[in-house]
Every structure is written in C-alpha cells, then in structure tokens.
Amino acid sequence: MHWSPRITPLQGCEWQDCRFNECDFQSLTINEQTRLAGCKFDEKSDVIGLLKSQDSDASMRVFVPEACEEMLTECGAIFEHPAEAPLKLDLRPIPSDVRGALTRFRERLRT
C-alpha cells in the first residue's frame, strides 16, 4: 500500500491495535493528542516526512526514518524489525609455524 496524499493529518486521532503491512507513509502530521495504541508497522513499512505540530511554533518535517519511528513510538506505535541472524565465526587454531612467524615479527617491532 502506498499512502501518500500531500499531507495526512493525524492530529488528535486515536487508533488502537491497527496493523500496517508494507505501507509507505509520507507527510504524516501528528500532535500531542495523537494516539496509536498498539498499532503495529511491519518491517516493510516506511514512515518519512513526519511533522509533530505544536500550537506554539512552526516545526519542520522529519525525514529520518529512525526519528519518525521514535516519534510514532511515543504515540504508542510498535515497529517490527527483523531479528538479526547470529554471527557465526569459524575460528580455527593458528598453525604453529604461522604463530611462530607472527611472534618473531612482533618481537622485531618491539626492538
């Protein structure tokens, strides 16, 4: 789903337990009253161009995805991220002849 009207106002909206799969949100506007309690955005959803409107002064839209996620998380949203695969290292012992050469090289550097 690509949802990108010019500006999508969510000021004062209260959404609960919604699910957003593979959505591309651009130019959302929120405020202190916006609630997204339990709304889940899957790992393929993107949110950019987020504006947190305030009565006192004008703000700038945020286009950094991580910052947008943080702002929506403060409203109660949940962002799913794929689990990172554990790093597997195949460490083999250093052969004695190579170890000896490395030791001699290190000793030469010290002198």
20-64 pLDDT tens trace = 999 888 889 999 999 999 999 999 999 999 999 875 566 788 999
- On the question of pLDDT at 2 being above 50, the answer is no
Q: Which domain holds residue 9?
A: 2-79
- How many independent structural domains does the chain possess? 1
Asked if residue 39 belongs to a domain, the reply is yes
Asked if residue 67 belongs to a domain, the reply is yes
Asked if residue 99 belongs to a domain, the reply is no
Q: Give Cα separations from 41 to 26, 62, 78, 80, 92 (angstroms).
A: 14, 18, 6, 6, 42
**pLDDT recorded at residue 14:** 94
Cα 81–chain centre separation: 8
Listing DSSP states for 42-82 in one string gives: -TT-EEESBEE--SSS----B--HHHHHHHHHHTT-EE--P
Q: Look over the chain and give the mean of its residue pLDDT values, rounded to a whole number.
A: 86
Asked if residue 92 belongs to a domain, the reply is no
Query: Other C-beta atoms within 10 Å of 77: how many?
Result: 24
H and E: helices and strands count for the chain: 2, 11
Whole-number CA gyration radius for the chain: 25
Asked if residue 104 belongs to a domain, the reply is no
Asked if residue 8 belongs to a domain, the reply is yes
Asked if residue 106 belongs to a domain, the reply is no
Asked if residue 12 belongs to a domain, the reply is yes
Q: What pTM did the predictor assign? A: 0.67
63-103 pLDDT tens trace = 999 999 999 999 999 999 888 777 788 888 889 988 899 88
